[in-house]
Amino acid sequence: MARLRTGVLISGRGSNLQALIDACTARDYPAEIVLVIANRADAAGLDRAARAKIPTRVVAHRGFTERAAFDAALDAALREARVELVCLAGFMRVLGANFIDAWRDRMINIHPSLLPEFPGLDTHARALAAGAKRHGCTVHFVRNEVDNGPIIVQGSVPVLPDDDADKLAARVLAVEHRAYPLALRLVADGRVRVRGDSVEIDGRPGPVRLDAVA
């Protein structure tokens, strides 16, 4: 079985990267991680990749005076590794339109909210402040608008009466670690088709929903 050659872009601890690494160890998993790129040399996720014997690169954004040059360096590294799909896993840089267009429908992201609710940062505190009853995560194809694009998988948890941002974040993170490997599997298996602003999965309207009870 030819496995989908996947590149993962990170900026920090790499917990979602680890979930993808773990998923890829299954013999029947249809993707393999062939490169991990960080924009920070101190990103802890690089150590996770190294322990899994996955090649790593550091493309430090501070080494570039223009975003286009940074994006071009990322693109070159991905193409050199013959990457077919890009996963953004806590990658804290906004990518330019040319890069996004070049990888259209071949780049996915995970965001810690039920998009379109709460794009951007501080999603857990904002969900609590808004009185949300459920909160969660979204895996979606990347588009030029930040935290926007056809949704593949959403996972949700209830917001509990004693929740603070940290407690809620921890429960959402557990769902993220299920949702991202599932989304990558669906894409790598060829079961996802982009239709305008949404997806079809196995010929039916998406997204897939994972609903945790606690």
Number of CB atoms found within 10 A of residue 47's CB: 12
Residue 133, classified by CB atoms within 10 Å of its CB into exposed (0-12), middle (13-18) or buried (19+), is exposed
Residue 203, classified by CB atoms within 10 Å of its CB into exposed (0-12), middle (13-18) or buried (19+), is exposed
Residue 116, preceding bond cis, omega within 30 degrees? yes
From the list 111, 124, 135, 177, the catalytic residue is 111
Residue 61 designated active-site: no
User: Position 212: which residue type?
Assistant: A
| Distance in angstroms (rounded) separating the CA atoms of residues 153 and 11 | 22
Structure tokens at 59: 């493309």
Q: Is 7 helix (H, G, I), strand (E, B) or coil?
A: strand
| Distance in angstroms (rounded) separating the CA atoms of residues 164 and 122 | 12
**Among all residues, which ones are annotated catalytic?**
111
